[in-house]
């Protein structure tokens, strides 16, 4: 049984990490990071089966791939607080020669990161390949991935989605962050996506809807259901409705904070809405 209160405390602390990291360097993507905070906290601290330590092969454990790599602040915070690297390294976010670049990279060997994901649309293909590798290795663990909804405007996704169903890659759980926002505006204004659930189903996937993508218990329950649907001949997708900027009122429900850092006054406002927890700031 998940300790929701403990996870909520971590969510609050991760939100502080996100806005502080982005503010310090006046650069980064807070909106989507805040919107996916509950998802990352639940996935890494309750759902995935992870080994102690880190290696790039990932044999004998579940794997995660972040496709929409611009939401690296939440990724880095959750990895650090899960013990993959020192929490105080969050101080180096987006600095020259840091392992914590604006988009995740692999050349500096940051534990927890297995692919560079700055270019949108590629993560689905990578996750499918990793899932097939697990099958070839006789490894019954699962592969998880996260994708932005605006990212689905990239055509490579749909080739990969078709491939995964056709090859019965049924050890994959791909979550779509359906916040309805992207850098230039609402997704339905920039390039309408239509009914994403129906589209995945038409391509042969098992699809779950999560309309409370900022509710920890709902996320955990849906991910557990997704795990139960694996191994039955179909890849599994979760269409997760979140609120961009969730937890910081002036960042919510708008694309304006997709890639914009808060100023000093806005930072203090955001931190006041998310007081420091016993976990402590970095």
Read off the pLDDT of residues 172-197 as tens digits, 9 standing for 90 and up: 999 999 998 888 888 888 899 999 99
Could you give the angle at the alpha carbon of 62 between the alpha carbons of 60 and 51, nearest 5°? 55
The helix/strand/coil state of 108 is coil
Three-class SS of residue 85? Answer: coil
Range 4-273 classified under CATH 1.20.140.10: no
Question: Between 113 and 184, where is the model more confident?
Answer: 113
CB 175 within 8 A of CB 198: no
Sign of CA dihedral 66, 201, 241, 259: positive
pTM metric for this prediction: 0.97
| Mean pLDDT computed over every residue of the chain | 97
pLDDT tens for 143-157 read 999 999 999 999 999
Asked if 117 and 104 touch (Cβ cutoff 8 Å), the reply is yes
> Which residues, listed in sequence order, are joined to residue 172 by a DSSP beta bridge?
143
Instruction: Please determine, for residue 1, whether its predicted confidence score (pLDDT) is greater than 80.
Output: no
């Amino acid at each position: 049984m998940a300790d929701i209160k403990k996870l909520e405390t971590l969510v609050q602390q991760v939100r502080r990490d996100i806005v502080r990291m982005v503010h310090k360097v006046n650069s980064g993507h807070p909106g989507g990071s805040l919107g996916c905070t509950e998802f990352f906290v639940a996935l890494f601290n309750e759902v995935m089966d992870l080994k102690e330590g880190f290696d790039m092969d990932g044999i004998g454990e579940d794997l995660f791939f972040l496709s929409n790599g611009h939401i690296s602040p939440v990724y880095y915070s959750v990895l650090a607080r899960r013990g993959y690297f020192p929490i105080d390294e969050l101080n180096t976010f987006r600095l020259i020669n840091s392992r914590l670049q604006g988009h995740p990279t692999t050349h500096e060997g940051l534990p927890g990161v297995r692919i560079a994901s700055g270019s949108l649309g590629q993560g689905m293909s990578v996750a499918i390949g990793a899932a097939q590798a697990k099958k070839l290795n006789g490894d019954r663990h699962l592969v998880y991935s996260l994708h932005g909804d605006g990212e689905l405007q990239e055509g490579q996704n749909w080739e990969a989605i078709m491939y995964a169903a056709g090859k019965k890659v049924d050890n994959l759980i791909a979550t779509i962050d359906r916040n309805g926002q992207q850098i230039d505006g609402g997704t339905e204004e920039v390039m309408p996506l239509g009914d994403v659930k129906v589209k995945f189903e038409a391509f042969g996937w098992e699809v779950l809807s999560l309309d409370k993508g900022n509710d920890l218990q709902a996320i955990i329950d849906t991910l557990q259901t997704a795990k139960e649907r694996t191994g039955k001949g179909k890849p599994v997708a979760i269409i997760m409705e979140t609120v961009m900027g969730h937890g910081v009122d002036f960042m919510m429900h708008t694309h304006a904070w997709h890639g914009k850092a808060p100023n000093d006054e806005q930072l203090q406002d955001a931190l006041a809405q998310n007081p420091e927890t016993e976990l402590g700031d970095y």
